[in-house]
Structure 1
């Protein structure tokens, strides 16, 4: 447009310079500044040179100088009168059009779909729409599109990235990558929470640098996030396994400020999933979610119950009233739970060591389902379920016997070294349950001998400190103590010690067995010291997880007196003297409790 106007202006000047009287008249009519420039600065021959430069390559006639808009066609007329989306599609089939008309038709069609409350995703497979898109894309230069991307606003760039998140075409990928590159350069321009949450949710194609910057921007804008945007960001972080602790803390804080009306059931379930997947703990948020969800548990379906309980199980967070509600939900709706859902519920209860208050009613329904389906489960899942029943003290002998056979052990020998080792230990725990808790069961195999300890196992600082303190406890009687004992039951004891009736360490030929199954002289007791570290307990709790409850029970049934050394006590002991005094006190109390228990059992008999 500017070149056309300058071309016309140059021709006017040319005509003016060739006619002197007319030139005087033109000068008189022009503003003073323009007239002076025309008279003083225009050298001889300038008008003709300018005329050639401005019109070089094209001659502009009077008719096309004012033709600045496309010709109005029949298609445009029909589209302007369209009242429903179908009118647009019919007009396109009947009249066709160029790329500009295809773009306009698509926009008009979208507006009409939204106005008539239709669903765009359900209609995009129409061949007429695909023809519009093909017409538009074929007549547009990819290079031009990439050049124009740089002129888009950050919101338009975000929409473009969202649009092309799942596109596989070469040109589409190039355009989306161009938009993402611009966002990486201009990320500081982003100023609204909706855009940043939308971009984080489409982070699969983004560079690590852009994702880091978007998370920084989300942290900056977190105060303005809605609950839906908080949910969207947290679920996206979980899906991408990006544990951004500062951002998660900020979003959790702002989530707590939201009213109860915004704590919808889908929000709670999704947030529980995100926290569980990222192993991010925030007790205040957990308490809030549990209190909001508890009254709604009867309205949940089996999928939601299992999903929520599993997420909280990963977090090792046991909210007793909520899990009681989960158990009652199963009792009332057991027919809606399929076998995999029941298996997941049992494994979660076992992980947390949760025993329902209505245990008899709950487990009667569980057993009635497992009697028919347990043997048909995949070997690894069958092992997990039976092991969980062992933790919950609900394993029946006929559940255990098939898993002690060599045929079943062979099925579990595939996979990574760590997985094979994990299931080897579970089979030892299952065999120990059969041997210790069901000694009268027929055809009970002896537990398999322990294999060499895994070379990957590392001794923690607490275990190392406890073992050093036990060496000082026995003094010169080093033969009375063994540390890091791998028992035949699949459990490792941090310290094994035999003491006399005065709690003095004594040498014993029974120690080398490592199994605690040999008779000891009268008045002599076998002691097992257990270092219980932070991961052995539930979140924000001093209650042991199910695995370690079973460990304690097995060792006691094997003849040990267990001495628990929890991390929250051990960390308070700063000197060697304090540690030694603590161990002596714990040993004396454990022996006294065992003597009281024995005397009580004798009195009852």
Structure 2
């Protein structure tokens, strides 16, 4: 096994020499003490043998003494417990590498790693690569590039010099690990160091001497260095496809997903291979960490793997038990994937409730807005989540960006829910709009204000601005026409200003920006009738009223709303034929509300249905709600007729038909 002789390299490289200044300020006695304690038990278990420490150069003694360590005289016998490790290179075992790696992982800064290495005389290549990897992990958390003091550190230069000059003797693991670490540390891609390592990797790749793990690591490294279009990457993927998936570890599978994600535009070329990976991954889900799960889900989204729903569902179940272990960014990826694939699970919702309520004040605003967006998309009315988020927004509203504010508030309107602190919530929102109105993108602002109107928090102070020609021009942008949904929202807001805010005397919405109907196939502000439920009610009404001509279906009103069933009454309470327009004294609007008009698994109307019923009442209709959950409890047609009679005529003793 090749090894990195740190001090010897330092002696050969005069340009790396800093006369002890860099290391003099970094005490290592405490590090050496801990290292001795960790390794002493293994050394003592070996047969005590005497060996000599050979000083190869005069400058070696100066280097060693400047760090406060006196050299043993040549020829003096010492035991293996001392810090000189030349015999370690020859007798190292796997358990010793594990001890070394555990020690590396305990360090919290690159300086500690380098101080630790300064106590070593020789270092096997796998350990040298491990040290580089640990420096990479520590330095890429907060900074994009390696600090100057690390780059100029003589020990760090010695490590790099060994990899640069002698890459051929390195093991496969050491080679690809060193390349990966140096790329992540943003070492100059044109440097001799990286070019030599890449060339050696390509030689071994062409010889077919790299194993699965090495291929995955090399693939990710080359993507970072040369981009997803590099020719070598195709060769790596070809070799990986020839390998048996049973030989892949869970880490290899996750890395493979990341590689394919980087080549998302070529997904069609690799779809057969992807299908095999998706099926094989089902057996590995239980072994995946929170980080791995979030990365796989992100890759499935980028690769549009809608056919991999069994894998998404199984990953979703695993997420439930690991939700406390996700970082804010990872949880955001999970939520984005669940929204993309339409995944919704009761156990996940419960776990999410516990997570959000426990940590809401410490969660990242982006994650909070994602949680609310997820609830809004899947129509999940979770009062614990909504209440906790409302409380957080009141306390920390300044942390949220305009798009995040919109994602946070919209679900309240969509799901027709007011939290206990609604007054404080919307007062805080109004203050933010007053001070940052111009920072909100036009369409985002329109969605936000429309959501407020759904739950009777009417944005009266901002209506004049959004109905103004200047705002409408901004809303349209460079498009020839405003999109249908934006026009519908504007129209409903304008209708709200007329019906629910009669005191509003500001700018009015021009007729060319108003729609004729809120019920459209692609972007509707109303939910279409449930056809099966409508048929049941229709037959019951025919039995009750005596003929089909006494009621009309899908009636469009002058106020853009479509009524499911309309019944007309004269002044004496007689039911009139639907075609008669004279002598109409009262109009009854039957709202035949199927499951899609309610929050799932509840009897809570959605916001767009609640505002519709309010507005129908304000324009003179008597609204009668026929919810599906009441109709489902009826066991016969006779019960249905009696139910409709109670709903329609129980308070009108003088009604006739």
Among candidates 264, 270, 288, match of residue 225 of structure 1: 288
Task: Report the alpha carbon displacement of residue 99 of structure 1 after superposing the two structures with TM.
Answer: 6.8
Q: How many residues align?
A: 493
Among candidates 240, 252, 274, match of residue 316 of structure 2: 252
Q: Is the 8 A contact 2:338 2:344 kept in 1?
A: yes
Among candidates 195, 199, 203, match of residue 260 of structure 2: 203
The within-5 A match list for 1:406-445 is 412=475, 420-443=483-506, 445=508
Among candidates 598, 603, 615, match of residue 554 of structure 1: 615
How many Å separate the matches in 2 of 1:338 and 1:257?
A: 31
Residues 108 and 541 (structure 1 numbering): CA distance in 2 closer, same or farther, change over 3 Å?
A: same
- 1:31-75 CA-partner distances (Å, limit 9, x unpaired): xxxxxxxxxxxxxxxxxxxxxxxxxxxxxxxxxxxxxxxxxxxxx
Partner residue, 1:157: 215
TM-score (norm 1): 0.68
Among candidates 236, 247, 250, match of residue 179 of structure 1: 236
- 1:267-287 CA-partner distances (Å, limit 9, x unpaired): 544433332333210011110
Task: Report the alpha carbon displacement of residue 346 of structure 1 after superposing the two structures with TM.
Answer: 1.9
The answer on 1:397 being equivalent to 2:436 is: no
- 1:400-432 CA-partner distances (Å, limit 9, x unpaired): 234445665566557999982212211221111
How many Å separate the matches in 2 of 1:154 and 1:503?
A: 82
How many Å separate the matches in 2 of 1:284 and 1:275?
A: 14
Residues 120 and 90 (structure 1 numbering): CA distance in 2 closer, same or farther, change over 3 Å?
A: closer
Q: Is the 8 A contact 2:183 2:225 kept in 1?
A: no
Q: Is the 8 A contact 1:497 1:528 kept in 2?
A: yes
Partner residue, 1:383: 446
Partner residue, 1:451: 516
Task: Report the alpha carbon displacement of residue 434 of structure 1 after superposing the two structures with TM.
Answer: 0.7
How many Å separate the matches in 1 of 2:648 and 2:625?
A: 9
Deviates more, 1:328-337 or 1:214-223: 328-337
- 1:180-213 CA-partner distances (Å, limit 9, x unpaired): 2333343532453222233223333351222222
Residues 509 and 236 (structure 1 numbering): CA distance in 2 closer, same or farther, change over 3 Å?
A: same
The within-5 A match list for 1:124-523 is 124-126=186-188, 130-135=191-196, 137=198, 147-149=206-208, 152-166=210-224, 168=226, 173-204=230-261, 205=263, 206=267, 207-243=270-306, 244-257=308-321, 262=325, 268-374=331-437, 377-404=440-467, 412=475, 420-443=483-506, 445=508, 448=511, 450-451=515-516, 454=520, 461-462=531-532, 465=535, 468-469=538-539, 472=542, 480-499=550-569, 505-507=575-577, 521=585
Residues 365 and 99 (structure 1 numbering): CA distance in 2 closer, same or farther, change over 3 Å?
A: closer
How many Å separate the matches in 1 of 2:249 and 2:200?
A: 35
Structure 2 residue matching 1:424: 3-state secondary structure: helix
Report which of the two structures shows the higher radius of gyration computed on alpha carbons: 1
The answer on 1:86 being equivalent to 2:157 is: yes
The answer on 1:123 being equivalent to 2:185 is: yes
Q: Is the 8 A contact 1:316 1:538 kept in 2?
A: yes
The within-5 A match list for 1:17-96 is 84-89=155-160
Residues 84 and 577 (structure 1 numbering): CA distance in 2 closer, same or farther, change over 3 Å?
A: farther
How many Å separate the matches in 1 of 2:389 and 2:652?
A: 39
Residues 337 and 477 (structure 1 numbering): CA distance in 2 closer, same or farther, change over 3 Å?
A: same
- 1:545-568 CA-partner distances (Å, limit 9, x unpaired): 222221221112222222333344
Task: Report the alpha carbon displacement of residue 570 of structure 1 after superposing the two structures with TM.
Answer: 5.2
Structure 1 residue matching 2:503: 3-state secondary structure: coil
Partner residue, 2:168: 100
How many Å separate the matches in 2 of 1:180 and 1:586?
A: 67
Task: Report the alpha carbon displacement of residue 80 of structure 1 after superposing the two structures with TM.
Answer: 8.4
Partner residue, 2:27: none
How many Å separate the matches in 2 of 1:475 and 1:190?
A: 73
Among candidates 587, 598, 605, match of residue 648 of structure 2: 587
Q: Is the 8 A contact 1:219 1:247 kept in 2?
A: yes
Residues 537 and 414 (structure 1 numbering): CA distance in 2 closer, same or farther, change over 3 Å?
A: farther
Structure 2 gaps, min length 5: 1-120, 129-153
Q: Is the 8 A contact 1:350 1:389 kept in 2?
A: yes
Structure 2 residue matching 1:494: 3-state secondary structure: strand
Q: Is the 8 A contact 2:176 2:218 kept in 1?
A: no
Q: Is the 8 A contact 1:527 1:560 kept in 2?
A: yes
C-alpha RMSD over aligned residues: 4.3
Q: Is the 8 A contact 1:79 1:88 kept in 2?
A: no
Q: Is the 8 A contact 1:435 1:444 kept in 2?
A: no
Task: Report the alpha carbon displacement of residue 461 of structure 1 after superposing the two structures with TM.
Answer: 3.2
Residues 287 and 138 (structure 1 numbering): CA distance in 2 closer, same or farther, change over 3 Å?
A: closer
Deviates more, 1:452-461 or 1:555-564: 452-461
How many Å separate the matches in 2 of 1:480 and 1:361?
A: 49
Partner residue, 1:27: none
Q: Is the 8 A contact 2:542 2:548 kept in 1?
A: no
Partner residue, 1:71: none
Deviates more, 1:188-197 or 1:499-508: 499-508
Residues 162 and 331 (structure 1 numbering): CA distance in 2 closer, same or farther, change over 3 Å?
A: same
Structure 2 residue matching 1:439: 3-state secondary structure: coil
How many Å separate the matches in 2 of 1:300 and 1:86?
A: 40
Q: Is the 8 A contact 1:466 1:531 kept in 2?
A: no
